[in-house]
Structure 1
Amino acid sequence: MIIMKKRMLAVLLSVLLITAMTGCGSKKEEAGDGKLKKITFVLDWTPNTNHTGIYVAKEKGYFKEAGLDVEIVQPPEDGAEVLVGSGKAQFGISFQDTMMPAVVGDDALPIKAVAAVLQHNTSGIVSRKGDGIKRPKGLEGKKYATWNQDIEKAILKQVVEKDKGNFSKVNMIPSTVTDEVSALKSKKVDAIWIYYGWAGIATEVAGLDTDYFAFKDIDPVFDYYTPVIIGNSEWMKKNPETAKAFLSAAKKGYEYAIEDPKDAGDILCEASPELDSKMVQASQKYMKDQYKAEVKQWGYINPERWNAFYNWISEKGLSKTKIPENTGFTNDYLE
């Protein structure tokens, strides 16, 4: 899967624009289909198995049963955070790392993470098998595809140095990889930051032998939440029961995807016929164990893990201001 870190700059640039749009996020929800309340849900990228539970909830009628008419829309160029922050969408998909610029400081948008789509960070570095990049130190002398984002580079530097490697020896190649399999096969780059549930599975489906290490396995501070469902905090304060109803229906959708990943994958493919069904089904089989993992409640965000990552950002000077505890998330709307 394409990493969303390249959107961080767009988020930063958009914060000032959106904060000038007063009143948009504070409106009461309007009626949708008949008596159903209209909800707009914005994706972070093209449809994939991060989103399956939302499509299942829509197809199976869970949203309708909750009194909601949910429209799923593609994100604008500047990301889901901006659309949700403006109040033009009530909910969307984001990531704890890339949403940081939008929730910190005087120009923060009125958004909060309200549910963890996956319980653990499944991102890490993939490389061709046998190239010696089983661990971070192996990146020395290799070509890494970078988005040149500060948080991205700081994470990579920490895991390399934690593995006794020399980060200055990593060959940083500015590149936005859209096809990880082709990029590795062509040897344009040697290592790529991916989410294993999509791009990692894609290498398996393509029959490409790879090595992979997850950031959370190198340093637990990087077991942050990615992706998450975000909501407009002003709208949610005014409409708490509707917010809870939405998340309750979404929970049913993701729990269905855990119990019946094949049918859930078929629902995603039917909604997005451009997707490769073999790829979706393989990804869905992997993701069913990631949506809740070891926790009992889908969507729960552990404050210690959330705060640990934002504290690390503050310590590294990656935020203009120190990030207060419990910034940018809430479990209050989960049931």
Structure 2
Amino acid sequence: LEGKVVGYSGTPLSESVLKKMVKSDGGDPNKVKLVDVGFELNSSLISKKVDAVIGAYINHEVPLLHKKGYKTVDIDPSDYGVPSYYELVAVTGDQTWAKDSDTIKAFWRAATKGYEYTEKHPKDSLQILLGNQDKSNFPLEKDVETKSLNILLPKMKSEHGFGSQTKESWQSNVDWLKESGLIKKKPNVDEMFENIGESK
């Protein structure tokens, strides 16, 4: 990516991820030009305003590009020194957890049932999604969503249960965030997450 223009959505995290990847590959991050394209990642690529983008989802932007006839070269940050992290997490505060933990656990049981149903009945689940889409603001395309589901389901599977997290993963991210200057102080990882399926 040296000498290239990379589009991103203007977040410090993306800047740090790109810097780490280029350095891990023996390159000079200062020779990569970053351009804030907001959320127009695909259109900036198609219009050739940028040579590459960071922050595109392999289950959304990539299938959309493929549908339009564009080939992609996908680079996994975890292959270049960036720790893998949990992309979507449910967040609450200590007071809410103490007061409404039963409700939160009920929500998580429902989410788990939804995942299990989707895993067993992907076609039916896809129809539910398409039947409840916001067509006027965010229209969905069946073939793209089918590819997305095929990409996501294997990645969501865990031998420890749906949505389970590990201390090791959180710790490696905390260490990297501190090393990258994105946080000033390391939080206590034991206080950061709860495996709801395992909690009593």
Which interval holds the TM-score relative to the shorter structure? Answer: 0.7 to 0.9
CA shift in 2, pair 1:291/1:144, >3 Å: same
What amino acid is the match of 1:278?
A: D
Match runs of 1:50-89 below 5 Å: none
Is the CA contact (8 Å cut-off) linking 2:37 and 2:44 kept in structure 1?
no
Q: 2:48 aligns with which of 187, 200, 219?
A: 187
1:177 maps to: 39
Secondary structure of the 2:7 match is: strand
State how 1:1-335 maps to structure 2 within 5 Å.
139-178=1-40, 180=42, 182-193=43-54, 194-219=56-81, 221-274=82-135, 275-292=140-157, 294-331=158-195, 333-335=196-198
Amino acid at match of 2:192: G
SS in 2 for 1:145: strand
Q: Once the 2 structures are TM-superposed, how far is the Cα of residue 179 of structure 1 from its aligned partner?
A: 5.1
1:160 aligned counterpart, secondary structure? helix
Question: Cα–Cα, structure 1 residues 326 and 155, in superposed 2: closer, same or farther, change >3 Å?
Answer: farther
Secondary structure class of the residue paired with 2:190:
coil
Whose RCO is larger (CA < 8 A, sep 6+)? 1
More moved, 164-173 vs 141-150: 141-150
Name the amino acid aligned to 2:141: D
Q: Secondary structure at the match of 2:151?
A: helix
Provide Cα deviations, 1:12-56, integer angstroms capped at 9, x if missing partner. xxxxxxxxxxxxxxxxxxxxxxxxxxxxxxxxxxxxxxxxxxxxx
Contact 2:12 2:182 in 1 (8 A): yes
User: 1:196 Cα deviation (Å)?
Assistant: 0.7
Normalised TM-score (structure 2): 0.87
Q: Distance in 1 between matches of 2:41 and 2:6?
A: 15
CA shift at 1:296, angstroms?
3.8
Question: C-alpha offsets along residues 242-278 of structure 1, whole Å, 9 cap, x if unaligned?
Answer: 2211101100101222222221111111111422222
Q: Number of residue pairs matched?
A: 193
Structure 1 pair 151–222 and aligned structure 2 pair: CA distance change class (3 A): same
Conserved 8 A contact 1:159-1:215: yes
CA distance 1:178–1:295, shift in 2 (3 Å): farther
Q: Is the 8 A contact 1:311 1:323 kept in 2?
A: no
Amino acid at match of 1:324: N
- Hey, what's the Cα distance between the residues in 1 that align with 2:41 and 2:13? 23
Report the TM-score when normalising by structure 1: 0.54
Question: Is contact 1:159-1:218 (8 Å) kept?
Answer: yes
Contact 2:45 2:52 survives alignment (8 Å): yes
Query: 1:225, 1:280 → 2: CA distance?
Result: 21
CA RMSD of aligned residues (A): 1.8
Cα distance in 1 for partners of 2:190, 2:18 equals 25
More strand by share: 1
Task: Give the deviation of 1:141 after TM superposition.
Answer: 0.9
Displacement of 1:174 after TM fit?
2.0
1:69 match: none
User: For 1:243, what is the secondary structure of its paired residue?
Assistant: helix
Once the two structures are TM-superposed, the CA of residue 314 in structure 1 deviates from its matched residue by 1.6
Superposed displacement of residue 185, structure 1: 1.9
- Aligned-residue sequence identity (percent) comes to 31
Change in CA separation of 1:317 and 1:212 when aligned onto 2, cut-off 3 Å: same
User: SS of 1:228's equivalent?
Assistant: coil
1:207 to 1:247, Cα distance in 2 relative to 1, 3 A: same
* Alpha carbons of structure 1 residues 295 and 216: separation in structure 2 relative to 1, 3 Å: farther
2:2, 2:31 within 8 Å by CA — same for their partners in 1? Answer: yes
Q: Is the 8 A contact 1:148 1:174 kept in 2?
A: yes
